[in-house]
Chain A
Amino acid sequence: MADVWRLIPEFLVLGGALVALFAERARSDSRVSAGIAAAFAAAAAVAAAVIGPGGDLFGGQLSLDHIAVFARVAIGALATAWLLWVWGRGVTGERCAEAAALALFSVAGGMLMASARDLIVLYVSLELSTIPAYVLMGYRRDDARGLEGALKYFLLSMLTSLVMLYGLSFVFGISGSTSYGQISLGAAGPLGQVAFVLVLVGLFAKLSAAPFHYWTPDAYAGAQAGAVAYVSTVPKIAGVVALVRLVGAMAPNVAGASGVLVVAAVFSMVLGNLAAFPQSDVRRMMAYSGVAHTGYILLATGAGTAGGPAAVFYAVAYAVPSMAVMMLAEEEGPALDDLGGLASRRPAVAWASLAWLLSLVGIPPVVGFFGKLYLFTSAVRAGFIWPVLVAVAMSVVSAGYYFRLIRSAFLGQRKGAPVVERRTSAATAFVLITVIVLALGVLASPVLAFLGMRF
């Protein structure tokens, strides 16, 4: 109980959500809620960094190891960027207060999920981090397409959550415990394999890995790009941490465990990248490319505990620039050609977007390159030579569609482009994201050493 202070970031986020809900009473403009929420999220990120690693809490239900600390800080920082951006841009057609509060509730769930070491804590925090996401996806009540996408997301996500819960009941039945220290399924034979796969179904759907990615393109293309910027990034980081932890706890000695992960990884990479190629809607393209990036991450999780740090690092390396691209799609319009002439209209944003997109392709010196480098290194060490070759080939394919965005921004033309107002807070969000993309690239190896990667 003396450990409660280590949860200060979560308390800050929850308190911030409640304050944000009522903040518009003071000011007539509801955007101020997002500003207040951003301040709380930033404070939570700083608090998480200051508190640092702290071992097991509450009798081992939570564990603040290095990966959890990194994930908490990353989740807090990304949420700050998103809320700053909402503060500047608002949410089209609706009030901001609820969006800010929902995002913070989801952040609290994500932070708990990143440190969960107990199946029940994991499940509750997983739901806490995704239920607000359903609402954010269908945030505009008058937008039938968005509601359809949100409903699809909700139904599939709920269904897979229940499958996962069913699997967790098997895990509990096999091991008689919900604590990660005691849920190794290796001795259980085929029943252990079934339980493992059932549990993976839930996490695969949340991370939109093939073959549970079907909801992603429809849901993303229906929703506002601004909401997708949040939903497709922050919960994903926490999901990857949870996946790494669970695989580490359950999978040792389960026959075929890493095979399942690698097969899903190869399917996600190939399908995601090839399907992203012909898209002309940035949201749809990013949805498929998100499937592909999840594939890369699964490759490292298949490598077991040794691949964990690289997988978590890459989840952040993917989430940060991807959020910025979605924000840009909201500002400029969702079609690929809407970016046309960005370089002459908004040169600073265009050059920043170059950094984001190069990071998503994986070109040095930005973070994406180092993320992929260590990801593939840990996969090769685990002996996955062919899957890594596929991943490298697919990275080249991904360059094709990401460069289409760059070409559109720098060489394309667009008549009647909307005049995007200058907003200091939205610009701050872009600066924050670009700084993270560049700085994490420079600091990649110390950060990975902190996470426990062996070089």
Chain B
Amino acid sequence: MQSPAFDHLVVGAFLLFGVVFVAVTVFASNLLSPKGKDEPNRLEPYECGVEPVGPPWVQFRVGYYVYALLFVVFDIETVFLYPWAVSFNKMGLFVLTEMTIFIAILAAGLAYAWKEGALRWR
């Protein structure tokens, strides 16, 4: 199964599928879309084919951005903590120290955000 010829075949199939998919969708869209200069939807902004709801210039609170950043701290921590916890018995003291340093750095980031008042909702 893992011969080079098979690998190339997979890549070739992928390539072929990509080309065919694009061609079919563009053709289908051309076939189905309403035509004509007096078509009222002509000047609407394109939003996945459905009619747009609300104005496109929506402003998000900058507070969400801070929360997203803080989420990354915990996200990364979890991603690395789980595999480490599963194989904790196989890995020695070295990895324990490494994890402690890693968590300490992440905790420092959280502490910094806290110090700057990012945890207060304004």
Q: Are A21 and B94 in contact (CB under 8 A)?
A: no
Docked complex: B86-122 residues within 8 A CB-CB of A: 94, 105, 108, 111-112, 115
Whether, in the assembled complex, A25 has its beta carbon less than 8 Å from a beta carbon of chain B, the answer is yes
Q: Are B115 and A1 in contact (CB under 8 A)?
A: no
Partner of A22, one of B94, B105, B115: B115
Docked complex: A6-28 residues within 8 A CB-CB of B: 14, 18, 21-22, 25
Q: Are B108 and A1 in contact (CB under 8 A)?
A: no
Partner of B112, one of A1, A14, A22: A22
**Which A residues touch B94, using CB under 8 A?**
1
Q: How many residues of A contact B (CB 8 A)?
A: 6
A18 to B112, CA, bound (A): 9
CB-CB contacts of A20-62 with B at 8 A, as 1s and 0s?
Answer: 0110010000000000000000000000000000000000000
**Which B residues touch A25, using CB under 8 A?**
115
**Which A residues touch B111, using CB under 8 A?**
22
A14 to B108, CA, bound (A): 11
A1 to B108, CA, bound (A): 25
A21 to B111, CA, bound (A): 10
* Closest chain B residue to A18, Cβ basis: B108
A278 to B17, CA, bound (A): 55
**Which A residues touch B105, using CB under 8 A?**
14, 18
A22 to B111, CA, bound (A): 9
A14 to B105, CA, bound (A): 9
A18 to B105, CA, bound (A): 8
* Closest chain A residue to B104, Cβ basis: A18
A134 to B112, CA, bound (A): 20
Docked complex: A235-284 residues within 8 A CB-CB of B: none
* Closest chain B residue to A21, Cβ basis: B112
Determine how close the nearest CB of chain B comes to the CB of A99; give it in whole angstroms: 14
A21 to B113, CA, bound (A): 11
CB-CB contacts of B61-82 with A at 8 A, as 1s and 0s?
Answer: 0000000000000000000000
Docked complex: A340-391 residues within 8 A CB-CB of B: none
**Which B residues touch A1, using CB under 8 A?**
94
* Closest chain B residue to A11, Cβ basis: B101
**Which A residues touch B115, using CB under 8 A?**
22, 25
A25 to B111, CA, bound (A): 12
Determine how close the nearest CB of chain B comes to the CB of A59; give it in whole angstroms: 14
**Which B residues touch A18, using CB under 8 A?**
105, 108
A18 to B104, CA, bound (A): 10
A22 to B107, CA, bound (A): 13
Determine how close the nearest CB of chain B comes to the CB of A181; give it in whole angstroms: 24
Determine how close the nearest CB of chain B comes to the CB of A61; give it in whole angstroms: 15
* Closest chain B residue to A101, Cβ basis: B112
**Which A residues touch B108, using CB under 8 A?**
18, 21-22
Determine how close the nearest CB of chain A comes to the CB of B93; give it in whole angstroms: 10
**Which A residues touch B112, using CB under 8 A?**
21-22
**Which B residues touch A21, using CB under 8 A?**
108, 112
A21 to B110, CA, bound (A): 12
Determine how close the nearest CB of chain A comes to the CB of B97; give it in whole angstroms: 9
A162 to B108, CA, bound (A): 30
**Which B residues touch A14, using CB under 8 A?**
105
- Given contact pairs A22-B115, A25-B115, a sample of 9 additional A-B residue pairs in the complex whose CB atoms are under 8 Å apart: A1-B94, A14-B105, A18-B105, A18-B108, A21-B108, A21-B112, A22-B108, A22-B111, A22-B112
For this complex, 11 residue pairs linking A to B, each with C-beta atoms less than 8 Å apart, are A1-B94, A14-B105, A18-B105, A18-B108, A21-B108, A21-B112, A22-B108, A22-B111, A22-B112, A22-B115, A25-B115
Q: Which 8 A-B pairs have the closest CB atoms?
A: A18-B108, A21-B112, A1-B94, A22-B115, A22-B112, A21-B108, A18-B105, A25-B115
